[in-house]
């Protein structure tokens, strides 16, 4: 989105929305709807154009949506008032490189809505990361079922057993914020402290130790010391490999934090990798949704980094420039189950189950969920959904 005329489109519910670069300093968001007879003005996902020309009868719009020209204006005896017939704008705000749109004129500005969250994520320097994987899966589940799934760690020991050797989920710290947002902080480079502690470092941690020049043998019987030593080693060696950790605390160097931004966005952040996940409602079927997962990395070339991994080999570093955008992978839940696509093993495990959860909640004999304390984020999310809906109908 660097040059004027660069654009992308995306669908949200029934709407198709254009995001366009107007000038160096300005972006616009507009409904992708021609004001002549309602055709989609832009039919590609992204590109760069001198002007936006509707494919139906050729109405021509400027990058900011201003109607420039309609063929055969003399045939409109009532005239073609360009000011009235420009593309309709939507509110657009950005947080660093992350762009937000809002179809409601009356909501508060983004920074008010996000509260302290922008300050909390600043140390991670997310703008230094580049898109490494771009995926969308179509799921047979309502978008809120997805958000609920990413709103608790209670299921982790059951369906994500591999996490026991990477993170300590039972000691995670949950924080609930005004506006329906929440976050959870999870210790990384450690093991599940509720289960027997292994004598030897798990394989994943051995790899990381070696990359940082630490000898895994030295951690026999001392697996719980790894987290602090990784923090020290990253602090020492990071800059040498081009990672800028200056604003981060020691714990942030080893841990993972997940922000659930109300209503439909989730960020899972580690120092070298960010997942932005977004649930989009299906335009007509509430039992379906689209789940986008954008993986950003400081070093987007490192394929082995798909799951909480880092490359400390300077030879591997090949930071992608704006011109080389990765392909968008678009697939279904069936494709994931068949092993044709993966969103990392952890997300795949969730994807396998979601359809059945959606179906189960429709049972005539299922009245309500029965939540435990760890599922407080699920309750918090729904309390705010209920609050906004009640405001709407006041």
At 264 the three-state DSSP class reads: coil
Inter-CA distances, 225 with 189, 194, 209, 221, Å: 9, 16, 12, 9
Closer by beta carbon to ligand FES, 54 or else 186: 54
Q: Is 350 in the site for Fe ion (CB under 5 A)?
A: yes
Interface residue with ligand FES among 13, 56, 107, 108 (CB under 6 A) is 56
Helix or strand (DSSP H, E) at 295? strand 289-297
CB of 184 to ligand FES, least distance (A): 47
Please provide the distance, in angstroms rounded to a whole number, between the alpha carbons at the two ends of the chain. 40
Count CB neighbours of 378 within 10 A.
22
Closer by beta carbon to ligand FES, 85 or else 185: 85
Binding segment for ligand FES among 32-40, 76-84, 273-281, 297-305 (CB under 6 A)?
32-40
Minimal CB distance residue for Fe ion: 350
Closer by beta carbon to Fe ion, 233 or else 347: 347
Q: Which residues contact 150 (CB under 8 A, 6 or more apart)?
A: 258, 260, 266, 277, 350
CB–CB of 267/281 below 8 Å? no
The dihedrals phi and psi of 88, each to the nearest 5 degrees, come to -80, 130
Interface residue with ligand FES among 1, 12, 36, 332 (CB under 6 A) is 36
Residues that bind ligand FES (rule: CB under 6 A) add up to a total of 9
CB–CB of 220/199 below 8 Å? yes
350 binds, among Fe ion, ligand FES, none (CB under 5 to 8 A by kind): Fe ion
Binding segment for Fe ion among 140-148, 277-285, 342-350, 365-373 (CB under 5 A)?
342-350
Closer by beta carbon to ligand FES, 57 or else 352: 57
Residues that bind Fe ion (rule: CB under 5 A) add up to a total of 1
Q: Is 30 in the site for ligand FES (CB under 6 A)?
A: no
Polymer length of the chain = 394
34 binds, among Fe ion, ligand FES, none (CB under 5 to 8 A by kind): ligand FES
Q: Is 152 in the site for Fe ion (CB under 5 A)?
A: no
Binding segment for ligand FES among 30-38, 140-148, 189-197, 227-235 (CB under 6 A)?
30-38
* Packed helices 203-211 and 226-237: angle between N→C axes, nearest 10 degrees: 30
Residue of 250, 272, 303, 315 whose CA lies nearest to 133: 303
Beta strands in 130-238 (DSSP E): 130-139, 167-176, 182-188
Q: Is 88 in the site for ligand FES (CB under 6 A)?
A: no
CB of 90 to ligand FES, least distance (A): 19
Interface residue with ligand FES among 7, 52, 59, 167 (CB under 6 A) is 59
Handedness of CA 242, 247, 250, 253 (dihedral sign): negative
Chain positions contacting ligand FES, by CB under 6 A: 34, 36-37, 39, 54, 56-59
């Amino acid at each position: 989105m660097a040059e004027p005329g660069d654009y992308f489109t995306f669908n949200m519910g029934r709407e198709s929305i254009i995001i366009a670069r107007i000038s160096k300093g300005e972006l616009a968001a507009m409904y992708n709807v021609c004001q002549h007879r309602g055709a989609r003005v832009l039919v590609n996902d992204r590109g760069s154009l001198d002007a936006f020309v509707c494919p139906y009868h050729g109405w021509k719009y400027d990058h900011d949506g201003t109607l420039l020209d309609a063929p055969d204006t003399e045939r409109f005896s009532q005239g073609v008032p360009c000011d009235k017939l420009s593309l309709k704008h939507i509110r657009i705000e950005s947080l660093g490189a992350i762009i937000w749109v809002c179809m409601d004129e009356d909501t508060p500005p983004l920074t008010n809505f996000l509260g302290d969250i922008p300050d909390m994520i600043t140390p991670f320097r997310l703008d230094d990361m580049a898109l490494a994987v771009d995926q969308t899966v179509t799921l047979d589940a309502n978008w809120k079922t997805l958000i609920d799934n990413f709103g608790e760690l209670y299921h982790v020991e059951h369906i994500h057993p591999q996490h026991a050797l990477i993170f300590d989920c039972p000691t995670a710290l949950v924080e609930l914020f005004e506006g329906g947002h929440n976050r959870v902080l999870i210790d990384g480079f450690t093991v599940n402290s509720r289960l027997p502690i292994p004598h030897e470092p798990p394989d994943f941690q051995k790899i990381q130790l070696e990359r940082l020049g630490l000898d895994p043998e030295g951690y026999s019987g001392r697996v719980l010391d790894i987290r602090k030593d990784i923090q020290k080693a990253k602090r020492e060696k990071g800059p040498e490999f081009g990672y800028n950790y200056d604003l981060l605390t020691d714990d942030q160097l080893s841990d993972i934090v997940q922000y659930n931004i109300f209503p439909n966005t989730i960020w899972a952040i580690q120092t070298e990798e960010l997942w932005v996940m977004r649930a989009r409602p299906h335009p007509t079927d509430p039992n379906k949704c689209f789940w986008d997962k954008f993986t950003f990395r400081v070093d987007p070339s490192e394929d082995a980094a798909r799951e909480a991994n880092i490359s400390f080999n300077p030879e591997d570093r090949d930071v992608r420039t704006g011109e080389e955008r990765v392909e968008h992978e678009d697939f279904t839940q069936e494709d994931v189950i068949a092993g044709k696509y993966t969103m990392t093993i952890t997300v795949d495990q969730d994807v396998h189950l979601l359809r059945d959860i959606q179906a189960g909640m429709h049972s005539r004999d299922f009245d309500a969920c029965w939540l435990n304390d760890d599922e407080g984020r699920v309750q918090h999310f729904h309390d705010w959904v209920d609050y906004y809906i009640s405001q709407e109908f006041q």
